[in-house]
Amino acid sequence: MVACKEKGVPLDALWAETRYPLEIADLLDNVVVGGAPLEYFVDQLVEMDGKRKLYQMGGSVQDLAKNGSSSEEILSVIASRSTELASQTTTRRLIPIADSLDGVVDEVSEPPDGSGPPGLSSGLATLDMMTAGFHPGEVVVVAARPGCGKTSLALNIAEHVVLNSKRAVAFFSLEMTTESLIMRLLSSVGKVNGQRIRRHDLSEGQLDSVVAAGARLHAAPLHIMDEPSTTHQIRAATVDLLQREKLSLIVIDYLTLIDSCPSERFESRQQEVSTHSRRMKALAKEAGCPILVLAQLRKVPPGSEGRRPTNQDIRDTGAIEQDADVVLLLHPEVDPRVDGETTLIVSKQRNGPTGEFPLVFSKQFTKFREISL
């Protein structure tokens, strides 16, 4: 256990009492290494015990073959023992629909309160109307070409959630530093030119606005991690935060910058990114909140500069689109380096309509807004 901890293996636990036998849950409550419970080691023990039993089963199959048992008899033994082993090593169970039905009916029976969509508001009214907000367990992909506003849109949504909805957000920035993100937030919230903030060239009035924006953000439940991370480290940090605070949104900026563990081997880059994508979907369900995943679009071929992007333009793998519940594509109608109109394309929605609507991007504040607002 100590060796694993020194190597950075996550020592975390979440909802252990619902996932493991009572005896193990009691153990997790009382045994701690490095300040964190031992769910990771329980998973490893279950995994190793399963492998040990598989190894033993393999030996038994060899003995049956040597002793003259027929192939039909051997296959029957394998099927029987495999089923038994699967029931012993899994912590997942099928549940009757009745266990969840009442809660869903009660939820949809509640009339709208007029304050926003049933799900988590993005701060963009048209998007909220199309999606009914972002929902727990969903993966929402925001894809665009470099420099077209992926991070700005994600940060605008995170800003709205923490300041307007007063809900917690975990922001994993694998490209920009925490300081750069904070400068963007100060510009957006304080409505002060971001370049003047970066140059420390502020008038007295602008400085007052930045200080006031800082005071609002200081109390906001926004948590940022800007270190290179694997999916396991992202999950560990999320689980650690969930033990202290309920999360309403996780942001990953961006998917293809996630590292792989040194021990992992992939046949191709596509397989690697596909694995990360599946793990993000699993994390959304485990954390019980939506995940906003940013992704790159392929470069525009020469002569096709004005072509609107499609889901097939998402780089590295089609698994990102397949795993996503919602796909949002940003398409600047003008040079993205200047203020102007950008089309937000809802190109996929598993539980709702697709479509598009215009936004205006203010580069000096790195802020998107709807044209009608």
Domains and CATH numbers, the chain: 2-89 (no CATH), 119-370 (3.40.50.300)
Q: What is the DSSP string of 228-261?
A: --BHHHHHHHHHHHHTTS-EEEEEEE-GGG-B--
Q: How confident is the model at residue 34 (pLDDT cuts 50, 70, 90)?
A: very low
Whether the bond into 254 is cis, omega within 30 of 0: yes
Q: What is the rounded average pLDDT for all residues in the chain?
A: 82
Residues 6+ apart with CB under 8 A from 178: 224, 226
Query: Mean of the pLDDT values across residues 91-100?
Result: 72
CA 363 vs CA 4, 18, 366: distances in Å: 46, 47, 5
The secondary element (H helix, E strand) that includes residue 162 is helix 150-163
Q: What integer pLDDT is reported at residue 19 of this predicted model?
A: 46
CA 199 vs CA 159, 196, 215: distances in Å: 23, 5, 21
Residue 61 identity: V
Q: What integer pLDDT is reported at residue 190 of this predicted model?
A: 92
Q: How confident is the model at residue 310 (pLDDT cuts 50, 70, 90)?
A: confident
Query: Mean of the pLDDT values across residues 115-144?
Result: 91
Strongest mean pLDDT among 66-70, 108-112, 169-173? 169-173
Q: What is the pLDDT of residues 322-365, one digit of tens each?
A: 889 999 999 987 776 667 788 999 999 999 999 999 999 988 89
Order of strands, edge to edge, in the sheet holding 139-144?
A: 222-225, 168-173, 247-253, 291-296, 139-144, 326-332, 340-349, 355-362, 367-370
- Return the SS3 of 338: coil
Poorest-pLDDT segment among 94-103, 166-175, 275-284, 358-367: 94-103
Neighbours of 342 (CB within 10 A): 21
Q: Is the pLDDT of residue 191 over 80?
A: yes
Angle value at C-alpha 292, between 263 and 117, nearest 5 degrees: 150
Poorest-pLDDT segment among 73-82, 137-146, 150-159, 289-298: 73-82
Q: How confident is the model at residue 41 (pLDDT cuts 50, 70, 90)?
A: low
Assessment of whether the complete model's pTM goes beyond 0.75: no
Q: What integer pLDDT is reported at residue 106 of this predicted model?
A: 78
Residue with tokens 């215009």: 358
Neighbours of 54 (CB within 10 A): 13
Poorest-pLDDT segment among 19-33, 142-156, 162-176, 254-268: 19-33
Query: Mean of the pLDDT values across residues 148-177?
Result: 94
Poorest-pLDDT segment among 170-179, 230-239, 333-342: 333-342
C-alpha closest to that of 140 among 330, 317, 310, 349: 349
